[in-house]
Amino acid sequence: MVILLENTKKISLVVPCHNEQENISLFYEECKKTFINMDVLVEIVFVDDGSRDNTIDELRKLEAEKNFEIKIINFSRNFGKEAAMYAGLKRTTGDYVVIIDADLQQRPELILKMLEIVENNDHYDCVCYYQEKRKESNIISFFKKKFYKIISKMSDVEFVNGASDFRLFRRYVVDAILNLEEKNRFSKGIFSWVGFKTCYIPYIPDDRIHGKSNFNFKSLFKYAISGILSFSIAPLRIATYSGLLFSLVAFIYMIIIIIQKLLFTIDVPGYATLLSCVLLIGGLILFCLGIMGDYIARIYIETKNRPIFIEKEYIQKGHLNNKED
């Protein structure tokens, strides 16, 4: 597919990498194939997010490449994909910015479709690929679906089921995203929160050929909780509403007991009833305290104002053009 862009535009790719040594050169080759015949400037911002393998050496090899402007950010440790995306976005200078995984599950050639959409539709500011059919195990895809339903109901921003981080933004959207400097970053929420018009298009991710996924059930669960806490204060209301409900029930029960005492012989409630009430209410109080604790922990982390990531080194290689020499 050959797309003609109006004027020569610059496209920035942000590529978070964590233990992707086998994928870097393959990814780069795919990018070359994708953009080779296009009149565009391409910069690729690779972020090595504290890899324990030779990812950084593979990235350094690309310094010699002349096709694209290469930028490499080397983190001092693993700060997570959210931090890597933020750091990468900060270094971009393109008119269009694309976030894409390094593992080739999101094929670089799919960027062309996104470019076609923004070039031909001025009213779209972002393009986002979403998974129509999930490839993961049934249980994970069941929980993911539920998560999107719950978080959409609880918060004011829209969360599209299956929406990935594989997105294209116009420059001003990236600037808006970077303006949000919160430390607990939940990018899917941030991308929706900043607004703008997004075009959602379906895609089927490829299988991972090299390396393995960095996200297991436990980390996805933590990610889901972090998303809810970042974008909704609804859990805090559990205490208010359940407190109201219990007070109402207790009040009705009190009236019943008074009537029983005045009119009939007193029927003393049994040990089991008492104990289960105490345990239930105790459990609920602890649960609500835990939720409050989670929010307080977030305030604590935000107030410490630590940086989102630490760069150990930053390498920038000048731009030539995307045609083969």
Nearer to Mg ion, 31 or 228 (CB): 31
Does the protein bind ligand UDP through residue 105 (CB under 6 A)? yes
- 215 contact, one of ligand UDP, Mg ion, none, CB 5-8 Å limit per kind: ligand UDP
DSSP annotation string for 99-158: E--SSSSS-GGGHHHHHHHHHH-TT--EEEEEESS--S-HHHHHHHHHHHHHHHHHSSS-
Q: How far is the CB of 59 from ligand UDP (least distance, A)?
A: 12
Torsion of CA 85, 88, 93, 96, to 10 degrees: -30
Does the protein bind ligand UDP through residue 103 (CB under 6 A)? yes
Does the protein bind ligand UDP through residue 118 (CB under 6 A)? no
Does the protein bind ligand UDP through residue 226 (CB under 6 A)? no
- 49 contact, one of ligand UDP, Mg ion, none, CB 5-8 Å limit per kind: ligand UDP
Two tokens, residue 184: 């607990």
Interface residue with ligand UDP among 40, 44, 56, 84 (CB under 6 A) is: 84
Does the protein bind ligand UDP through residue 188 (CB under 6 A)? no
Does the protein bind ligand UDP through residue 185 (CB under 6 A)? no
Does the protein bind Mg ion through residue 95 (CB under 5 A)? no
Residue 3: phi, psi to the nearest 5? Answer: -110, 135
H-helix or E-strand containing 316?
Answer: strand 311-317
Q: How many CA atoms lie within 13 A of 272 on its CB side?
A: 0
Nearer to Mg ion, 69 or 101 (CB): 101
Two tokens, residue 84: 């890597």
Residue 66: phi, psi to the nearest 5? Answer: -110, -5
Interface residue with ligand UDP among 101, 115, 230, 322 (CB under 6 A) is: 101
Q: Checking phi first, is residue 38 left (phi over 0); if not, alpha (psi -120 to 50) or beta?
A: beta
Chain residues 1-40 in contact with ligand UDP, contact rule CB under 6 A: 16-18, 20
Does the protein bind ligand UDP through residue 215 (CB under 6 A)? yes
Contact in structure between 46 and 316 (CB atoms under 8 Å): no
Does the protein bind Mg ion through residue 49 (CB under 5 A)? no
Interface residue with Mg ion among 105, 187, 230, 232 (CB under 5 A) is: 105
Q: How far is the CB of 115 from ligand UDP (least distance, A)?
A: 21
Residue 195: phi, psi to the nearest 5? Answer: 85, -140
Q: Quickly count: other Cβ atoms within 10 Å of residue 30's Cβ.
A: 15
Nearer to ligand UDP, 83 or 115 (CB): 83
# residues contacting Mg ion (CB under 5 A) = 3
Two tokens, residue 256: 């019943």
Applying CB under 6 A, the span of 102-110, 232-240, 292-300, 301-309 interacting with ligand UDP comes to 102-110
Does the protein bind Mg ion through residue 103 (CB under 5 A)? yes
Altogether, the residues listed in the chain come to a count of 325
Contact set with ligand UDP (CB under 6 A): 16-18, 20, 49, 78, 80-81, 84, 101-103, 105, 213-215
